[in-house]
A and B are shown apart, each in its own frame.
Chain A
């Protein structure tokens, strides 16, 4: 190898390791219905967790001066009368795709929660929660059959959605959304990926609260559900006349401080200053390419 080649190989490694946190958009909540499931949660930071109680995944080994795709999925649409909610949208980094959160079940439309990264909660007065994707999320809550049973919560990245309960208008409770997962990939701990809370009907009843990490709160009577928090993948909260929309996803990357990311056209993101031997890039919007040099 020539002297120039030796210098080049020392300054520009042929490969490097990137840790990632990829969260999809949260699911929309149901009309008089269940909370939306959190967007799929995939993480490679050692010592942390991916969704559904799974261990962190393997880091990616990437090459410099090579384009890698990033897409930030939007949240799903909350359901309205006669129309069910829609699933959250996948987020992507390179070969890693996190699945959009499942829909909350809606009265008069799709009664059961939908499958997704985390499953959506069942509608009020009976229904089955949706199933979460393995290693990405948990299941939505199930509502027992009968009048005055609150709608169930959507699954969170860490814990499943709660089931609605009750028996009369006063003691009806909506299921709480499942909780999200805390990650310190940015250097400080932030919880993301909460499920949405379920709706209830009675004036003195208690709707479900959104799970930690951006899940939207369920509502009661004639109040639309709360939206999941932007860039957390939180599921929407159940409501009337509309379920809440899911929150959008996010992609966060951690890599050696010796290299610098280029966030390409069509993307919105920032790179932090080096700390602890790493730089971090948080990408909050768009679709396009990133590369390193």
Chain B
């Protein structure tokens, strides 16, 4: 933990230091990419591209915030290792991590801070409640924003050209959850939400879908995103005898809630959205979570072509498991940088139109945006908690699944074998070295491709 913290401290310090000295201007187009291969790297202008990242790094959701940041850090390190060139200049990406404390007020404060720091783009925020007010500031400043985890539909419905997300929104998720509840044979449900933009949003959508499916909503109760005691509301719910309790909120509340349900002798099933679909939920809820269901937007990592590889990289780098949104945040960074490459510019105004046209084959699937900035398709996968692990049940709806299916089948097997090989080699230093060599090679290849792409565009 201490090691991890010092890494954080270092990266923060580094970001600050870079922020202070990294105010280089956009290179003149005159520094032409005429002969990129011939020019010595020392002569090339190096520009620092600052990407803001905002998530709660303190408070009850700090573990999720750290997870998001790790996703972004991983993406940025890989990009820097590739040594990208955009607009003829060598690009060095810098992450400006901010702590929004999952608080809408603080979210706007750090958003303003990022705008003032003239970041080239923003990844985040984590929560819908912070993302929505912050998106106005980014929109006013013309800074593209891609959230990997804000799922409240409002975020992209405000008409901001700068707002994007790479995760299915709550309308899609709540709807699928409602249908799933009906499929499970629930006749009556109780709904609890944590009054956050996310929790309330997904609970409302769930209610609509559940009622449409003929399920009776027998109780509606509320808590908050800092609570640990739910016995009072659960006792009340118990008296209405629902078949299922739906919780719109995060794992830090969901886990204890499931446990307290058990303490009170409530037999109803527990169902939740992506906020409780985490290892943390099972750790906190213990045996009470066994056999309960939750949903995640997208397709499970291990079912995706690049999923196992990403998981392996992540575990190796940070020594912790992926909590939740890290792959999405990773993809958000990649999509943003991909747009910069296609626009051949890191200037927000110039590459923004390219973001909407993205068709990026990322870890979480092929990412394409619709006209408002929501990810197209948007499959929802159901999971069951079993023996301390999330067990994949099924994927409901979404064109995303179809889009990645072929790719997954084609490369899935080879990726899987590669991943196992890498995992086996985990402790073997010699093999590790070869792997690093391979990575460098890969990076070089990707870099070459990028240059080729840029040239072709010209």
Question: Are A and B physically bound partners?
Answer: no
By a beta-carbon cutoff of 8 Å, the part of chain B in contact with chain A is none
By a beta-carbon cutoff of 8 Å, the part of chain A in contact with chain B is none
